[in-house]
Structure 1
Amino acid sequence: MTDTQKIALVTGASRGLGAALALELSKTHHVVAVARTTGALEELDDKIKAAGGAATLAPMDITNKDAMAHLCRSIHDRWGPIDVWAHTAIYGPALMPTPDLDDKGWTQALNTNVEATRNLIFMVNALMTDDSTALFFADDHAGQKFFAGYGATKAAQMALVRSWAAENTKLGPRIVIAEPEPLATTMRTRFFPGEDRSKLAAAEDEARRILSDAELT
């Protein structure tokens, strides 16, 4: 990468919308791609290289606070400020009646969707300037039957983000909340197993639309 190339951090970059955003951003940015699955990150890296871009792979769990703090410090020491942060990492526990929501699924959803987001906002904010953009994604299922685990934790995540956005209206960084069309992702297949996937949006198309709407392309 050149000294003047922009830096984009994508958390949850291994598949779905995160991978599509990383690939699209790599046309204009050096991408730092974070996800737990090393193999999927390597596949993304191959696509980015084939398209003429470059990425730094960070195979780690965003719920590991120490690992994420080390990554953010490394980004600061190597590149300084970042220009874009796209946060797509999410966990959807199995759908079930609210009284049956188990500790394991609830805890993982809470740690991934809420606590990790809170920690990352604190850490990544220090890497951003007033001209940087943080990009988040609404997916409202709060109050829908069988969605207690995902709906509650996703709503809490969005409450954090919307407060941060309201606080930054006159300063920066810029906080953008996008609303993707229903996507043909693995998580959606688990939520809606009988759905006609041919009617769902492609992640690549949505990535281009979202980045264009956010004036990031």
Structure 2
Amino acid sequence: MADRRTAVITGASSGIGEACARAFAREGLHVVLAARRAGELERVAADIAAAGGVATVAPCDVTDPAQVDALVARALAATGRLDVMVANAGLGYNGRLDETDTETMRRLMEVNYFGTFHAARAAVGHFRTVGAGHLFIVSSIVGRKGVPRMGAYAATKFAQVGLGESVRAELAGSGIHVTLVYPISTETGFRSAMAREWGQDVAGAGPRQSPDHVAATMVRALRRPRADVYPMRASRLVAVAAALLPGVADWVSTRFTRTPK
């Protein structure tokens, strides 16, 4: 249906991406589900269809710009429009700086930063053509304040934030919105993905939230665009503390360090 808004969601096979897909579909959007695991995308799409929503499966590796361009082209071919891009695909890692090799850092940057860059670039190019659109970048609270043993991951999240804030300023007044999302530790398959990718078994610490909670805050920003979304409102203080009281923020961050089991 050409009058149904379309949202492309990367990393839609699990976690925040899956929850966002379900929530946006309930809002009446045609969701285009992107991730590497086609079988998991089919499962999510079937659930959305059973609930009365509309979903298209589009397997994609976000580290490949040609595949991301093809993803946008597929969304346009399938639905006739692209209104929302959710750059959510991501990969975690736990380790001190001296435990992090160059290839690991490159892999994190390829998925977390370049995956976001490719998705944002492809979507914003289309948004400029039509004069409207909404880009969501799912970062992390560690994109505002680094924590011990997550320096490599935090670096990619800071990079996402720098990109998003700059693009938002470039698009000011254009009718195109950019929203940065800063979840705290979320109950997803994030740690199981770390186990698959790096063989890491890591224990979490501190408060957590559900993917559905994050998705609900994103729906509110979809309805009424906002620059920044902190799904746990109190976590906004982390950014303030990091800027004004860095020493105190460093001390506090040690209490929320993820450690190997």
Residue 42 to residue 76, structure 1, CA distance change in 2 (3 Å): closer
* Offset from partner CA, 1:128-171 (integer Å, 9 cap, x none): 24331111223132542211210111111111111001111211
Match of 2:210 among 202, 206, 214: 202
The whole-number CA distance in structure 1 between the counterparts of 2:101 and 2:82 is 38
Structure 2 residue aligned with 1:130:
131
Letter in 1 for 2:223: E
Give yes or no for contact 1:81–1:127 (8 Å, CA) kept in 2.
no
Q: Describe how 1:96-111 pairs up with structure 2 within 5 A.
A: 96-111=95-110
The whole-number CA distance in structure 1 between the counterparts of 2:106 and 2:34 is 21
Q: Which structure has the larger Rg over C-alpha atoms? A: 2
The whole-number CA distance in structure 1 between the counterparts of 2:209 and 2:141 is 17
* Offset from partner CA, 1:5-32 (integer Å, 9 cap, x none): 1111101101001000001111211111
Structure 1 residue aligned with 2:219:
211
TM-score, normalization by structure 1: 0.88
Q: Describe how 1:182-197 pairs up with structure 2 within 5 A.
A: 182-187=185-190, 193-195=202-204
Give yes or no for contact 1:113–1:154 (8 Å, CA) kept in 2.
yes
Structure 2 residue aligned with 1:112:
111
TM-score, normalization by structure 2: 0.74
* Offset from partner CA, 1:87-116 (integer Å, 9 cap, x none): 1111112x1110221133211111112222
The whole-number CA distance in structure 2 between the counterparts of 1:210 and 1:75 is 21
Give yes or no for contact 2:72–2:123 (8 Å, CA) kept in 1.
yes
* Offset from partner CA, 1:176-204 (integer Å, 9 cap, x none): 1123343112225769943479x632211
- SS at 2:174 equivalent: coil
Letter in 1 for 2:141: D
The whole-number CA distance in structure 1 between the counterparts of 2:46 and 2:40 is 10
Structure 2 residue aligned with 1:18:
17
- SS at 2:66 equivalent: helix
Runs of at least 4 residues of structure 1 off by over 4 A?
188-192
Letter in 2 for 1:194: A
Structure with bigger strand share is: 1
The whole-number CA distance in structure 1 between the counterparts of 2:47 and 2:176 is 29
Q: Describe how 1:1-217 pairs up with structure 2 within 5 A.
A: 2-27=1-26, 28-93=28-93, 95-128=94-127, 129-141=130-142, 142-187=145-190, 193-195=202-204, 200-215=208-223
The whole-number CA distance in structure 2 between the counterparts of 1:173 and 1:39 is 33
Give yes or no for contact 2:7–2:83 (8 Å, CA) kept in 1.
yes
- SS at 1:82 equivalent: coil
Give yes or no for contact 1:180–1:210 (8 Å, CA) kept in 2.
no
Letter in 1 for 2:131: D
Residue 38 to residue 78, structure 1, CA distance change in 2 (3 Å): closer
* Offset from partner CA, 1:15-73 (integer Å, 9 cap, x none): 00100000111121111100011121111012101110111101121112222222222
The whole-number CA distance in structure 2 between the counterparts of 1:35 and 1:47 is 16
Give yes or no for contact 1:130–1:174 (8 Å, CA) kept in 2.
no
Q: 5+ residue gaps in structure 2?
A: 195-199, 226-261
Give yes or no for contact 1:136–1:177 (8 Å, CA) kept in 2.
yes
- Give RMSD over aligned pairs: 2.4
Shift in Å at residue 79 of structure 1? 3.3
